[in-house]
Amino acid sequence: MMKKLPVIISPYIKTRYPYNKLKICRRCNHFTVLGDEDCPVCGKSSLLGVEQRAASILKRSMWGARVIVMLIWAISLVVSQSILQTSLSIIGGAVLLALLWTLQRRLTPALLRVELENLFHKEAYTLVAGLANDREEAIKVFHSGNKPLAYEMLREIGALVHTDQLRIEQILLLQSFMLRKDMDLMIDPLLMDHFNTDLVEYIGELAKIRRDLLKENTFRYVLLHEIQILKMEQGDNILASVAGAAVRMQRYISLYPYLIMRYAGKLPKDRFLRLYRMLQSNPEIGTGPLYEEVMRVYNEKYKWDEDFRSTGNETELK
- Smaller CB distance to Zn ion: residue 25 or 174? 25
| Secondary structure class of 253 (helix, strand, coil) | helix
| Secondary structure class of 7 (helix, strand, coil) | coil
Q: Which amino acid is at 95?
A: V
Cα–Cα distances in angstroms (integers) from residue 68 to residues 1, 61, 245, in the given order: 71, 11, 64
**How far apart are alpha carbons 307 and 303 in whole angstroms?**
10
- Smaller CB distance to Zn ion: residue 28 or 90? 28
Q: Containing H/E element for 170?
A: helix 164-175
- Smaller CB distance to Zn ion: residue 42 or 97? 42
Chain residues in the site for Zn ion (CB under 5 A): 25, 27-28, 30, 39, 41-42
Q: Which amino acid is at 259?
A: L
> What one-character DSSP code corresponds to residue 301?
I
**How far apart are alpha carbons 124 and 228 in whole angstroms?**
38
**Nearest distance from C-beta of residue 32 to Zn ion, angstroms:** 9
- Smaller CB distance to Zn ion: residue 9 or 25? 25
**Residue 311: how many CB atoms within 10 A of its CB?**
9
**Nearest distance from C-beta of residue 161 to Zn ion, angstroms:** 20
- Smaller CB distance to Zn ion: residue 39 or 206? 39
**How far apart are alpha carbons 127 and 15 in whole angstroms?**
19
**Nearest distance from C-beta of residue 25 to Zn ion, angstroms:** 3
- Smaller CB distance to Zn ion: residue 25 or 187? 25
C-alpha atoms less than 13 angstroms from C-alpha of 203 in its C-beta half-sphere: 37
Q: Which amino acid is at 74?
A: A
The answer to whether 171 touches 202, Cβ cutoff 8 Å, is: yes
**Nearest distance from C-beta of residue 156 to Zn ion, angstroms:** 18
The answer to whether 308 touches 273, Cβ cutoff 8 Å, is: yes
The answer to whether 137 touches 40, Cβ cutoff 8 Å, is: yes
**Nearest distance from C-beta of residue 40 to Zn ion, angstroms:** 8
**Nearest distance from C-beta of residue 28 to Zn ion, angstroms:** 3
- Smaller CB distance to Zn ion: residue 42 or 149? 42
**Nearest distance from C-beta of residue 142 to Zn ion, angstroms:** 23
